[in-house]
Each structure stands twice: as structure tokens, then as C-alpha cells.
Structure 1
Amino acid sequence: MEKLHAALNVQVANWSVLYTKLHNYHWFVKGPFFFTLHEKFEELYNEAADVVDEVAEKLLANGGTPIATMKEFLNVATIEEENGKLNANDMVSSLLADYKKLQAELKALAELADDEDNDSINDLAVGLVAKLDLHIWMLTSYLGE
């Protein structure tokens, strides 16, 4: 169970960093797609906040302790925060890379949960993978790739 707890805390950290990064993008996006991206980034940071809560509660329900400070998030996260100096397309590209990384980690988490016969954590991870499938497709389409 210790490996599952650690993997869940990586997700708590990543989605917390992502929440802040998306706020950064929401505030600093400029250009002809401002209105579209400003609104989309808000939708995505609200989703990230919900995911943080869901993952942390799943961790607590399974006897773990979620990390809960910015310092811990930055130390544990596998994605990086942003400084607000990217152009709109680079923001989308960075977010796409983050989502792909999260998706790979969530697939590994689902496998680990399956190996440990923990259906509820497996379901959580698989559900998030499905959500990311859609985001990855949309962001890739936005970039014209």
C-alpha cells in the first residue's frame, strides 16, 4: 500500500502544480485566442482543483496522508510550474506535455492498483486517464498537429 500512497501523492502534487500553472496561463495569456484560452484555462484549473480533492480524499480513505504544502508539492511533482512568459501556443504545448506525462503516470498507477487489488484507486486512475484522453486530443487539435 505504501507504493500506492506515494503514487497518489505524486498526483496530488502534480495536479496542485497544474492548478497554479493553469491560473498563471489564465492570467497571462495574450493574443487573438485570448477569450477562448482564458475561458478554457479557467475550466481546466477548476477541474484540477477537483482532481486534487478527489485524489487526496482517496488517499485518506486508503489510510494514507496527502501532502498539503506548496513546498511538498514542488518537491514531489514531476511537472514544473510556469513563469507566465510563454506565448499562447507555447502555453498549450506545455500543457499538452504535462497532460501526456500525467496520463502515463496514471496508467502506471492504475496498473499498480490492479496489482494490489485496489479497485477504487484503479477506477480513479482509469477515469482520469479517460479525461486526459479528451484533453490531449483537443489540445493537439488546437495546435493543428
Structure 2
Amino acid sequence: MSYEKTQGILNQLVADLSQFSTVIHQAHWYMRGAEFLNLHPKMDEYMDGINEQLDEVAERLITIGGAPYSTLKEFADNTKIEDKPASYDTPMTERLETLVAGYRYLVSVYAAGIDVAGEEGDNVTEDLFIDFKGQTEKIIWMLTATLGQKPGI
């Protein structure tokens, strides 16, 4: 059976998760303010979660016959998550909004992956996407609550 479309989405996620880990790192390194003591360790937790997903995505891609991107150039050339320099002047609320936007984007990729993996009969990858989508929606809820917003899932 061919999993070409599923492989494409998995590789998209390899690039996107690699880039998003950097975005979270920026929030971690450049944060300042009253919530520092609470949010700084939270960013470690978020980076760990993204890196765990990245490993699972790459390993699943290899399992179904694909070849994950593995260079910084490939990640940069293929991600759809914006790469921009950080600044200490960026307010923490703006950093959290950037994280929410990134997580929302990942939810959309997981949703597309659920559809494609289902169409191609790859139930294992479909389950992986379903699990990641649920985990990510919970993070969106927590971040938007911190910002005083509804999750909008």
C-alpha cells in the first residue's frame, strides 16, 4: 500500500515541529516579566512535548517507507512556521499569542493528517495525529486561558 500523502504530511511536521521548537526556545530565552517564574519552566515542558512529537513523527515516517528531513536547511525550506529574530522588548502576552498561533497551525496539520492517513488506510498514523491533535488543543486551551481568552477550538 502507498502512503505517499501521509508521508508528505509527516515530513511537513518534521520541518514544522523543528521550527516550532525554536519558537518556543525564543519565548523561553527572551521572556521577562511578572510571570517569569511560572512561564519559564512551562516553556521547557512545551519544548519537551514538541520534541517528543518530532521523534515519533520522524520514526513513523521511516516506518512507512519515508525519509525525514534532517538538516536545518531542509527544515527552514519546508516549514510554514515563521522564522523571525527575538527581542527582549516583546511583551510576554505577544509571545504567548505567537505560541497559540503556532499550536493552532499544528492542529490544522494534524487534522489534515487524520484525513489523509484515513484515506490511505494508515490507521496507526491516523491515531498518532488524533492523539497529537488532542494534546495540542489542550495546550491551546491553557494558553488562551492565561491570556483571558476562550480556546476557540
Contact 1:14 1:78 in 2 (8 A): yes
Partner amino acid for 1:88?
M
Q: Tell whether 2:54 aligns with 1:52.
A: yes
Alignment of 1:25-36 (within 5 A): 25-36=27-38
Decide which of 36, 42, 45 is 2:44's aligned counterpart.
Answer: 42
Q: Which TM-score applies when normalising by structure 2?
A: 0.92
Q: Partner of 1:107 in structure 2?
A: 111
- Structure 2, unaligned runs of 5 or more: none
Deviation of 1:65 (Å): 0.2
Partner amino acid for 1:139?
L
Partner amino acid for 2:119?
D
Q: How many aligned residue pairs are there?
A: 145
Q: Report the 3-state secondary structure (helix = DSSP H, G, I; strand = E; otherwise coil) of the residue aligned with 1:36.
A: helix
Deviation of 1:89 (Å): 0.6
Decide which of 10, 14, 17 is 1:15's aligned counterpart.
Answer: 17
- Percent identity between the aligned chains? 33
Q: Which TM-score applies when normalising by structure 1?
A: 0.96
Contact 1:18 1:81 in 2 (8 A): no
List, as ranges, runs of 4+ consecutive aligned residues in structure 1 with deviation greater than 3 Å.
none
Q: Tell whether 2:128 aligns with 1:133.
A: no
Q: Partner of 1:89 in structure 2?
A: 93
Q: Report the 3-state secondary structure (helix = DSSP H, G, I; strand = E; otherwise coil) of the residue aligned with 2:86.
A: coil
Partner Cα separation in structure 2 for residue 22 and residue 82 of structure 1: 12
Alignment of 1:56-67 (within 5 A): 56-67=58-69
Deviation of 1:82 (Å): 3.8
Q: CA RMSD in A?
A: 0.9
